[in-house]
Structure 1
Amino acid sequence: MKKIAKFRYLLLILCVTLMACGGSRNQPTDADLRGYEELKEQVNGSGFEIENQWAIPLRGGRINLIGNPNYIRFKGDNVDLFLPYFGERQSGGGYGEGGGIEYDGPTEKLEIIENQQNRNIRIQFEATAGTENLKFYINLHSNGNAETSLNSSQRDAISYRGEAKPLKEENE
């Protein structure tokens, strides 16, 4: 009987220890909180830009974008972007067009969702470039990582992975 009681006691201590250790790993660090506060400030006022290192087309593997010009620049409700495109175009477009996704103007249906618990911000907006309707979904993380998904009325969907940083003075 004493062995069973000791075993139960040992098992209880083990369970409590594991639960205590498991709960602490999701606690935000000071750096996470500072990064999140800086990110909120950039999104809600001072502006930011995203430079992507990877393109992930719907059909095919990841494509390294390092050394290829690409950007998404936010200043208030305006966005200026150039993203290289890799994928199939279903309709529209013509010969001689660059093939990338370009837009400079106001965002339509802009929605900013802040998630304090996960320390990230989701931005959704729409834009119209010529006859093409574009829908953007951007996730910004407190560590500077950015994920962008793009749906188009004329092309296959594509995603990008990169870094968000404060908007540079010469781009404002």
Structure 2
Amino acid sequence: MRAVFLLFVLGSFLIGCSGAKIVAPTAQSEALEALIAKKSFTIESDWMYPLATSSMNTIANSGLLPPGSTVNGISLIGNQNYVRVHGDSISMELPFYGERQLPGQFTRNEGGIVFKGVPDRYEVTKDEKRQRHMIKFTVKNNRESYRVMVTLYPNWTSNININSSHRTSIRYRGNVSILESDDGLVTN
């Protein structure tokens, strides 16, 4: 009886430790991989997740957050935001809620995370088991630098983690789409 119980516990342990689920490539994940290889896609975020600090709690308590938002998750629906990769260039315009860690100045129109140009470093890796891509790049503007890690999932959703030299870290969640040119045509 004791041997049967031990065998049952061991079997349950082995089944529970079977590791991560392997995701098979689909037409959708292969289409995403093609966009990443061409460096021609855009990401629009629906949610922003700032670092919860006492200052962010003060903002939340004062009623300054958009409807349906909390200090842990701020809705970006209806707010223009993007990260665009087009060839070797990256442009991004993302709103920012959080704290400044170093003194500096912002103009009225530059409170968010804004960059347009060629990143200092750009690296793409793929997790074959989960069919997700991790893109890491570093960009600098005249005031601060950003380390950005973008995770693109096979269902065309994304997570963007940004660490700044002057601000608290922040994360965005959104969707990937095909990059369109300024005249509305899809770029190839």
Tell me which interval the TM-score lies in, with the shorter structure as reference length.
0.7 to 0.9
| Alpha carbons 2:21, 2:129 under 8 Å: kept | no
CA distance in 1, matches of 2:107, 2:178: 36
User: What is the CA-CA distance between 1:35 and the residue it aligns to?
Assistant: 2.2
Q: For residue 21 of structure 2, what is the aligned residue in structure 1?
A: 26
What pairs up with 1:68-107 in 2 under 5 angstroms? 68-89=79-100, 90-107=102-119
Q: For residue 152 of structure 1, what is the aligned residue in structure 2?
A: 164
Give unpaired runs (5+ residues) of structure 1.
none
**One-letter code aligned to 1:155:** R
Structure with the bigger percentage of helix: 1
**Number of equivalences:** 162
CA distance in 2, matches of 1:124, 1:95: 28
Q: For residue 40 of structure 1, what is the aligned residue in structure 2?
A: 33
TM-score using structure 1 length: 0.80
Structure index of larger Rg:
1
| Alpha carbons 2:121, 2:137 under 8 Å: kept | yes
CA distance in 2, matches of 1:27, 1:134: 32
Q: For residue 62 of structure 1, what is the aligned residue in structure 2?
A: 73
Runs of 4+ in structure 1 off by over 4 angstroms are none
Identity, in percent, stands at 29
Q: For residue 113 of structure 1, what is the aligned residue in structure 2?
A: 125
CA distance 1:142–1:135, shift in 2 (3 Å): same
User: What is the CA-CA distance between 1:27 and the residue it aligns to?
Assistant: 4.8
Q: For residue 64 of structure 2, what is the aligned residue in structure 1?
A: none
Structure with the bigger percentage of strand: 1
